[in-house]
Amino acid sequence: MAEMGDIGEDFEQADAGSSTTYPKQCSALRKNGFVCIKGRPCKIVEMSTSKTGKHGHAKVGI
């Protein structure tokens, strides 16, 4: 019979599969908040929103 120390277990991940980041609408972001852009954490110091164009979409500059 095998002892507990004899069994070699290999864990590929040690978390519950949840992410520390999550998607969020730009309208929900606020000044002095934080956002992850291209994998890098960034603090929002200034935001600007443009009017909707002829295709109905607005742009947000962070």
Domain residues of the chain, as ranges? 22-52
Residue stretches of the chain with pLDDT short of 70: 1-9, 11-18
Can you give the pLDDT at residue 13? 62
Residue with tokens 């603090």: 43
The proportion of the chain whose per-residue pLDDT surpasses 70, expressed as a percent, equals 71
Contact predicate 8/21, CB 8 Å: no
* pLDDT at residue number 7: 67
Kind of pairing between the strands at 34-37 and 40-43: antiparallel
Token pair 């960034």 is found at: 42
The pLDDT value recorded for residue 2 is 55
Q: Do 59 and 48 meet the contact criterion of CB atoms below 8 Å apart?
A: no
Report yes or no: 47 and 31 within 8 Å, Cβ to Cβ: yes
Q: Give me the pLDDT at residue 32, please.
A: 93
Measure the N-to-C terminal CA separation of the chain; round to a whole number of Å. 62
